[in-house]
Chain A
Amino acid sequence: MPSQPSRRTFLRSIGAMGLAAYALPSGSAAASPLPPGNPWARAEYISGKVRSPHLLDRSYDIRQLAPSATASPTALKRSSGPSRPATPQAAATWSCQPVGG
């Protein structure tokens, strides 16, 4: 049998939407900073919460990945699975020199 909320549950949730659902800042039962009855308050909440990640103020030129200043090849070691994402390494797979065109 399909394991979904029943239509009764769904309609009840819609009916309650204007009163309560927007009161939750997330799917959790956390306390609400949002006023009830104004769904767009939730949009403002999302806009305020989703920000650029904090990234360190350091930069590396991709050419620094090359094993030496004169060596052209560098590599992105490819992962063997999702738990081992790729890491830059000095091995010859991908050119770090500009390509033509």
Chain B
Amino acid sequence: MVVPAGRWLTGPIHLLSNVDLHVTADAVVLFSRRPADYLPAVLTRFEGVELYNYSPLIYAYEQENIAVTGSGVLDGQADMETWWPWCGAAKFGWKPGDPRQTEARNALFAQAEQGVPVEQRVFGDGGYLRPSFVEPYRCRNVLIEGITIVGSPMWEMHPVLSENVLVQGVTVSSHGPNNDGCNPESSRMVVIRDCTFDTGDDCIAIKSGRNADGRRVNVPSEDILIEGCTMRDGHGGVTIGSEMSGGARNVFVRDCEMSSPNLNIALRFKTNSVRGGFIEAFHARDLTIGEVGGSVIDINFFYEEGPGHGFDPMVGDIDVRNVIVGNATRALNLRGHADDHIRGITLTDIDFGATSQPNVVEYVDDLVLKNVRQNGVELVI
């Protein structure tokens, strides 16, 4: 399906099997700014929890051999007046008295904890829960290639429970709330290659469901390769979590370049003892990191709810090598917990460049440093 040059207004687009939505150069697909146009509700996920909600802007359910390609632009038209204020933050246009997601989000999370059937978790109008932009759900053989994504309401590319997903040559530039660039969630065999991310949240964040709902579905994200990508602004360059209750394993990152004063963390693992789940077999190599506003590597068991809630995450077997950093606030921020240690971190041939703050290493077992330098001297912990 070819979108020729020009500016085109549409509502949600649902892809069927064997369809390639091809957005040619000089074509801009503008998505409606009326939330009601994204009804009736479809099965989707909001922050890792299954529900019926507004349709993602481009959605596919149980389809195969689908694609979104071309060198044109997909513009969700989200801004400080549409979609973004629903996050409830003044910096994104919300004002006291305006609708916001807080009540519905809390209700959804409570329903999930109580085991309310997904069919009864129906939101949409009145819920103010923003949809993802591109979401293949239970799909196989997915290609997203070449396009530029701007103005996203929420997460940008969000394959859920999908397999054989290739994201290649995509440019993401969207600085709204929760504007993650790519979120493979409970998906396997995913390649993210030669993409550029300039985002309002994590550039890439690997997910696998949240809390009780993530444990109910219990499908990890696994066998994910990220290569040749460029990360600019973002909370994290490559992130796992926080919605990782189904676990994540076999994640490979190589030949990426990350740099921005507005990139908080290069490699980010965020979790807590409500999420639970596991992260294992994470491998990164050949990274060039210019400037990072916070830590280069951050593993944080204190994200949001923190420890003491009964589902300690298990994080280990992390290997990072051949990394050059220009400057960062801190090289390492590794915060396990007394009852839940981080296990098995190996860092090899890394120059953390110039850092201004001391490292934080708490409750980390088997931290191995081989030829690691910081501020021009060998790093010893």
Contacts and interface: CB of A to CB of B under 8 A. Distances in A.
Given A59-B2, A85-B14, A2 B310 contact: yes
Contacts of A63: 4
B225 interface: yes
Given A43-B225, A59-B2, A10 B316 contact: yes
Contacts of A47: 191, 225, 227
Interface string A16-44: 01000110001100000000000110110
A47 to B, nearest CB: 6
Nearest to A10: B314
A3 B215 contact: yes
A70 interface: no
Contacts of A50: 164-166, 189-191, 225
Contact of B316 (A3, A14, A43): A14
A11 B317 CA distance: 9
A99 B18 contact: no
Nearest to B59: A85
Most B C-beta atoms less than 10 A away, residue of A52, A87, A101:
A52
A101 to B, nearest CB: 6
B344 A14 contact: yes
Contacts of B329: none
Q: Is the interface of B mostly helix, strand, loop or mixed?
A: strand
Interface residues on A, range: 35 or more
Given A78-B55, A85-B63, A86-B13, A60 B190 contact: no
A22 B250 CA distance: 9
B316 A52 contact: no
A52 B67 contact: yes
Contacts of A40: 252, 283, 285
Contacts of A10: 278, 280, 314, 316
A26 B187 CA distance: 12
Contact of A94 (B3, B11, B64, B311): B11
B12 A76 contact: yes
B91 interface: no
A53 B316 contact: no
A55 interface: yes
Contacts of A100: 7
Contacts of B166: 50-52
Contacts of A13: 280
Contact of A46 (B22, B60, B225, B276): B225
A42 to B, nearest CB: 6
A82 B62 contact: yes
B375 to A, nearest CB: 30
Contact of B11 (A14, A17, A76, A87): A76
A28 to B, nearest CB: 11
Interface string B141-161: 111010000000000000000
B250 A85 contact: no
B137 interface: yes
A50 to B, nearest CB: 4
Given A50-B166, A62-B2, A81-B40, A26 B141 contact: no
Interface string A70-97: 0000001011111101111000011110
Nearest to B215: A3
Contacts of B223: 26, 42, 46
Contacts of A82: 42-43, 61-62, 137
Nearest to B165: A50
Given A47-B191, A59-B2, 15 more contacts: A5-B314, A17-B317, A26-B188, A39-B319, A47-B225, A50-B191, A52-B166, A78-B12, A82-B43, A82-B61, A82-B137, A86-B13, A86-B14, A87-B14, A95-B9
15 contacts: A14-B280, A17-B281, A17-B317, A40-B285, A42-B252, A50-B165, A52-B143, A53-B141, A53-B143, A60-B1, A78-B55, A81-B43, A87-B14, A94-B10, A99-B9
